[in-house]
Amino acid sequence: MIALVLDGGIALLTIGIAAWTIRAADDFAAVVGFVAYGLILTLAWTRLGAYDVALTEAAIGGGATGVILMRAGARVKPAPVARPSKRARILVGALSAAVAAGLSAIVLLPPQPAPSLALEVRQHLASTGLGNPIGGVLMAYRAADTFLETVVVLLALFGVWSLGRDAHWGGRAGPAPRPGEGGALPLFARVLVPAGIVIGIYIVWVGADAPGGKFQGATILAAMAILAGMAGRYPPGRSSLSASALPAFRSPAPSSPIRPASRSR
């Protein structure tokens, strides 16, 4: 009974936060909604017993993607959004409904018996030397896929690098400015980054036999790099690179999400 209430609550919250995110009034609110959506999905995966997926969702879906979206939202210049015609909107709605219906059909009416290699993986897991079946699949059976995913990301980076204008890179790469002496963020980065590097490596290491692995661990390492980079440019305006520094705090636009609440609501 309690489990039903809990699971039902998580399901309702998932749909509710998704709808709220789509309807959010500004980009900042939408990103906040997206991060909250990632966290509630993490809870859902935990309830399903998929701890590896839950960790990945928390690290990548909620954390890293949230940071990327927030930076993108602050950097991209506002453009007038042309409202699509009614016919286009109906078409998009119909196509979206068709995709949703197709996905639900796959989930609700799976072929019997469902195609699965899970049993074989479990039987031969010992030969990979890994105790975590998900780690075994990703790092042993699908080693080439996992490796080539990294190559694809690298190629995408080269593509953006080659096609993007120099100005959009925020200047030539060089020695990072010295971290600011005062302020909460430099202190935070100084203390947390060493601990975070250890935790990131630990997550990869423990992924051999327990939930964890390279995706989650690498995301934590990336978060530490972002944190160190942000702290080096804090407080905003301190360094000559500040045009690209902490864009979340610098982008000019009409309204602030952190505003004293009006009592006249």
Residues that bind another protein in the complex, under the rule CB under 8 A: 24-30, 73-74, 78, 81, 183-185, 187-188, 191-192, 195, 235-237, 248-261, 263
The least distance separating another protein from the CB of residue 238, rounded to whole angstroms, comes to 11
The least distance separating another protein from the CB of residue 124, rounded to whole angstroms, comes to 30
Residue 100 to residue 97: CA distance in whole angstroms:
5
Residue 205 to residue 229: CA distance in whole angstroms:
26
The least distance separating another protein from the CB of residue 213, rounded to whole angstroms, comes to 17
The least distance separating another protein from the CB of residue 237, rounded to whole angstroms, comes to 8
CB-based contact 213:203 (threshold 8 Å): yes
Residue 53 to residue 109: CA distance in whole angstroms:
23
Residue 56 to residue 219: CA distance in whole angstroms:
9
Nearer to another protein, 172 or 265 (CB): 265
Nearer to another protein, 146 or 179 (CB): 179
The least distance separating another protein from the CB of residue 167, rounded to whole angstroms, comes to 21
Nearer to another protein, 75 or 214 (CB): 75
Identify which of 256, 254, 249 has the alpha carbon closest to the alpha carbon of residue 74: 249
Tell me how crowded residue 144 is: count the other CB atoms within 10 A of its CB: 8
Nearer to another protein, 23 or 142 (CB): 23
Question: What three-state secondary structure class fits 100?
Answer: helix
Tokens 């997206």 locate to: 34
Question: What three-state secondary structure class fits 225?
Answer: helix
Nearer to another protein, 102 or 257 (CB): 257
The least distance separating another protein from the CB of residue 130, rounded to whole angstroms, comes to 21
Residue 258 to residue 261: CA distance in whole angstroms:
9
Structure tokens at 74: 């602050």
Nearer to another protein, 63 or 136 (CB): 63
Identify which of 193, 177, 195, 196 has the alpha carbon closest to the alpha carbon of residue 185: 193
